[in-house]
Homo-oligomer: A and B are copies of this chain.
Amino acid sequence: MNSQDVILGMLLKGPKSGYDMKQKFQSTFSFFYDASFGTIYPTLSKMEALGYITKESIIQEGKPNKNIYSITPSGREKFQEYIHSPMESEVYRSDFLMRLFFGEFVDKAVIIGWFERKIEELEASHQSLSTGYEQFIHHSSPTQALCAEFGMEQLKMSFAFLKKGLEKLHNLEE
């Protein structure tokens, strides 16, 4: 799975611009994928050259032309190739857990600070996710709903862990 595959998948539901895609990456896909403009635009050019997508430029005043991309039959084929290829394993890289692992080499107060900031972070993403969550669940495909449910459960689990962990830390050597 790379950005090409994801872009192909997005375009199955209709034409989109690079800017539109970035927004999808930051909202819907945010908790299991991400891509920057520095990836999106060059990938789009490459995919057009390969014939997986076609570009339609929409002239705009005051803004750069908007490039709307559509998937071609060859692109659909490419997507089916991806989706039926062997599944890749998950990648999870956590600076928080790494620091926690090395926690014995820093002051307790520093660790508590990490927990507090993580809790704030999760509270913020919970806020932005729960807004529109119910609607999303009901207006999306069954598998997309499943995806969202996983995200929610992950969030809840992490939250519970952090709260419990913070308490344990406070209770240490008192």
- Are B87 and A96 interface neighbours, CB within 8 A? yes
**SS class of chain A's interface: helix, strand, loop or mixed?**
helix
Q: How large is the interface on A (under 10, 10 to 19, 20 to 34, 35 or more residues)?
A: 35 or more
With a cutoff of 8 Å between Cβ atoms, the chain B residues found around residue A168 in the complex are 142, 146
Decide if A51 is an interface residue (CB 8 Å cutoff): no
Q: Which of B12, B93, B117, B142 lies in contact with A32, CB distance below 8 A?
A: B93
With a cutoff of 8 Å between Cβ atoms, the chain B residues found around residue A90 in the complex are 92-96
- Are B143 and A161 interface neighbours, CB within 8 A? no
With a cutoff of 8 Å between Cβ atoms, the chain B residues found around residue A32 in the complex are 92-94, 97-98
Q: A143-B111, A146-B100, A154-B157 are in contact. Are A1 and B105 (CB under 8 A)?
A: no
A125 to chain B, nearest CB (A): 10
Decide if A106 is an interface residue (CB 8 Å cutoff): yes
- Are B95 and A87 interface neighbours, CB within 8 A? yes
Closest residue to A6 on the B side, CB-wise? B98
Scan residues 103-156 of chain A and give those whose CB is less than 8 A from a CB of chain B: 103-106, 110-111, 114, 117-118, 121, 141-144, 146-147, 149-150, 153-154
Residues of A within 8 A of B (CB): 1, 5-6, 9, 12, 28-29, 31-33, 79-80, 83-84, 87-106, 110-111, 114, 117-118, 121, 141-144, 146-147, 149-150, 153-154, 157, 161, 165, 168-169, 172
